[in-house]
Structure 1
Amino acid sequence: MGWASDTFADLTRQQYQDWRERFYPRLKTLMEQASGEALLDRQLGRANWNTQNSLRSALSAQTNQMARYGTPLGQEAQDHRLGLRTALAHAGAKNGIREAARSRRFAILTGGASGIREQVSVGGDR
């Protein structure tokens, strides 16, 4: 009783209890969001909307530019190209989001050192 080690042990217990009450619930929520599927699903939904809007504005800009020169666009070819661009943009955006989610999960599991690990030459393969 009254020893410095007892006082230090009490302080450590109080700090840990404070951390568990104030910070751990928020940390747990963030970890569940980062490792769950809900965040990925929301991002994939936004990707559809974003790629549609960007392609729509690109098509509008191209139509306006061609109209300045008085040249009409071939509608069939334009529709086909737009369909291909849309599919490619959707696939690229969604694949990028999935890869980022996979990297985030891997970083969580490994303690966030995945960037360093990728930069290190493993087995002389550089």
Structure 2
Amino acid sequence: MMTLVSSLLTLDFELGSVTRVRHLVTESARDAGLEGAALEDFVLAVHEALTNAVRHGLPPRDIALWTESGQLICEVSDRGPGIPAKALDLDYPSTRFDFGGRGLWLMNRLVHRDVRTGPHGTTLRLCVDLP
């Protein structure tokens, strides 16, 4: 069985480019076939991953977006200290607005999320089925 992979976007980003990257993700996801609430949910999840990488991670920070086997897949990576296990296992959002804690929870509810994290960095993989 052959798996069709189509690369849509690959680049490095920093704080000053988050808005531009979000727009590129929106355009690419729309071109891949997402629309309506599915598009909005995917872009919001990716935006949360981007802002978390800028806020908590270290450079270089990368994003890659592609389609594979009927899914739209986005990976956001950074070289920071990793995500604490307690932050990954929350079944509810943090109640402290000043310290964050909602991004990972929200991503998990909007898309399929996979996390690889450790002392040398984090990669978040966000996936959604294409129509």
Give TM-score scaled by structure 2 length.
0.30
More strand by share: 2
Q: Considering fraction of residues, name the structure with more helix.
A: 1
Q: Which has the larger radius of gyration?
A: 1
